[in-house]
Amino acid sequence: MGRVLFAAVALVIATAAHAAPYEGPIFDAHLHYNDEATPKYSIGTLHELFSKNGVRAILANSRPNDGTRALAEAAKRGVRKDLAVVPFIRVYRTRDDLGTWMRNPDIHRMIVEEEKRGYYRGVGEFHVYGQDADTPVVKDIVDFAVAKDLVLLAHCDDVALEILFRHNPKARVIWAHTGFTTPHARVAELLDRYPALWGELSYRSDVTAGARLAPEWRSLFMRYPTRFVVGSDTWVNERWASYPQILGGYRQWLGELPREVAAGVAWGNAAGIFGLP
């Protein structure tokens, strides 16, 4: 019996190790087209990258918002008909806003004005940690997002995340990087507590262990198959340069999941948030 059990376990491990990569569409739910990227990567170049890597939708947010506008307006013109652009309002006009936005009423006013363009679906990415989230400006932005049915893309720790929901329990939040290093048990606790929370997986290097899907993450994906999304986080040009490798890395470990779960994490979960078919 012991030998039979050992052989069965070995077969499962070997199968997972050699699972075929996921080949379906990807929704890149964390993408920046910042001012450093625009001189080097034209809209046409980006469209070619997306096409070659099977990306059919992007959540675009940029510093400043010009890059996102360019992507959104190209989509409106039908430049590439098989790419959906989901534009978010970035809270940073320049890098100087990164550490001060949560106390600057001008940022809230900028968001209100930018939203009048009519095509935005969310606010973020924004960085906030701990009690820095507990300011009138942050609350005003969260309340505005709820009132306008906008999703938040929050780069934050678990303390700040809970403050966002305390500001307005009706908030919908994509948690950038799923907290980077937030323990698995805490991630599960927060997903249970907040039904309108999704974890985005860029820079969660612990998703894999030894080039394979980590058991703890497999358990999370199986327990919460509709609550995770993938993203490239092209915050610097080096991320654009390695875009195929980033997407290929996702495809590799997604291939170890059941087909329906993999398709949800890669595409369906983000598509569902924004009502894409």
d(CA 115, CA 263): 31
End-to-end CA separation in angstroms for the chain:
49
Residue 238 banded pLDDT, cuts 50, 70, 90: very high
For the stretch 210-223, pLDDT in tens is: 999 999 999 999 99
CA angle 122, 126, 128 (to 5 degrees): 135
Report CA torsion sign: 205, 29, 164, 225: negative
| Token digits of residue 113 | 């004005």
Whole domain around residue 45: which residue ranges?
Answer: 2-273
- Helix/strand/coil for 97: helix
Query: What CATH number should be reported for the domain holding residue 197?
Result: 3.20.20.140
Measured CA to CA, the distance from residue 49 to residue 241 in angstroms comes to 10
CA dihedral 215, 184, 88, 234 (to 10 degrees): -60
Q: Which of 117, 169, 161 is nearest to 143 (CA)?
A: 169
Q: What is the pLDDT of residues 43-63, one digit of tens each?
A: 999 999 999 999 999 999 999
Yes or no: say if 34 and 235 are a contact pair by the CB < 8 Å rule: yes
- Looking at the structure of the chain, the number of domains it has is 1
- Distance (Å, rounded) from C-alpha 26 to C-alpha 22? 10
User: pLDDT, tens digit, for every residue of 86-117?
Assistant: 999 999 999 999 999 999 999 999 999 999 99
- pLDDT category at 187 given cuts 50, 70, 90 is very high
d(CA 233, CA 242): 11
Torsions phi, psi of 81, nearest 5?
-75, -20
Q: What is the rounded distance in angstroms from the CA atom of residue 61 to the CA atom of residue 127?
A: 13
